[in-house]
Amino acid sequence: MRATVSIICAVVLGLDGLYIAEALKYPLGTLSRPGAGFYPLLVGILIGVAALATAAQAQRGGVDPEVAWPDRSGVLRVLAVIAAALSYIVLLPCTGQLLAAVPATAVPLRVMGTRRWWQLAGLTALFASGSYYLFAVILRVPFPAGIFGG
């Protein structure tokens, strides 16, 4: 856990450095007329202090002892769900809502335990069409038409 928290804090510190560098490009103004960069600079300093203090606390053993990382099959399930969600983002502008929802539904169902193909097909069709009906038809959300017009 100590190593994990320390790594996270190190990454946060790196990003914080970039954040502060960007904040310094904006006008800081004065105390009586603070500019656009004034408040972000203060926030950046706070992030740096908090990250260092959290890392120090972790090194002193002041955090919970164990991180419950998943086993191999758990990691694969998590990665599959992430990939399914990202596929929705990639496919939505190209294929439209109805078709983009298919892998975003089928993959999580499959990796989380739905084995029979007819159950998988039926549930995927139900979720994809149900979400389309709720959002596109009832709520009239304007989804991209995609190359198939759906």
Partner 1 sequence: MTPLEGLAYGFSVALTPPNIGAALLGAVLGTLVGVLPGIGPVGAMALLLPITLQMPPETALIMLAAIYYGSMYGGSTTSILLNVPGEAASVITTIEGYQLARRGRAGAALAVAAVGSFVAGSLGVVGLMLFAPALSSFALSFGVPEFFSLALLGLVALSRVSGGRFWPGILTLSLGLAVATVGLDPISGQARFTFGLVELQGGIGLVPAVMGLYGIAEVLSVAEQAGGLPGIRTVRWRELFPSLGEWRRAAPAIIRGTAVGFFVGLIPGPSTVLSTFVSYNLERRLNRRAEFGRGAIEGVAGPESANNAATSGAMVPMLSLGIPFSPATAMLLAALLVQGVRPGPLLVKEHPEIFWGVVASMYVGNAALLILNLPLVGLWASVLRIPQAILLTGVLLLTLVGAYSVDNSLLDLLTLMGAGLAGYLFRKVGFDPAPLVLALVLGPVLENSFRQSLFMSQGSLLIFIQRPISALLLGLALLVLGAPALWGLRAAHKDREEAESV
Return the residues of window 5-24 that contact partner 1 according to CB under 8 A.
Answer: 5, 8-9, 12, 19, 22-23
Tell me the three state secondary structure of residue 29: strand
Q: State which residue, 24 or 148, has the beta carbon closest to partner 1.
A: 24
Of the candidate residues 53, 94, 145, 147, the single one contacting partner 1 (CB under 8 A): 53
- Structure tokens given for 57: 């606390």
Q: Minimum distance between the CB of residue 28 and partner 1, rounded to whole angstroms?
A: 12
Pick between residue 31 and residue 118 the one whose CB is nearest to partner 1: 31
Q: Is 59 in the site for partner 1 (CB under 8 A)?
A: no
Closer by beta carbon to partner 1, 53 or else 147? 53
Quick check: 109 binds partner 1 (CB under 8 A)? yes
65 — phi, psi (to 5°)?
-70, -40
Binding of partner 1 by 68 (CB under 8 A): yes
Residue 135 touching partner 1 (CB under 8 A): yes
Task: Give yes or no for residue 28 binding partner 1 (CB under 8 A).
Answer: no
Binds partner 1 (CB under 8 A): choice among 46, 94, 145, 147: 46
The total of other beta-carbon atoms located within 10 Å of residue 19's CB is 17
- In order, the DSSP letters of 80-118 are HHHHHHHHHHHHHHHH-HHHHHHHHHHHHHHHTT---HH
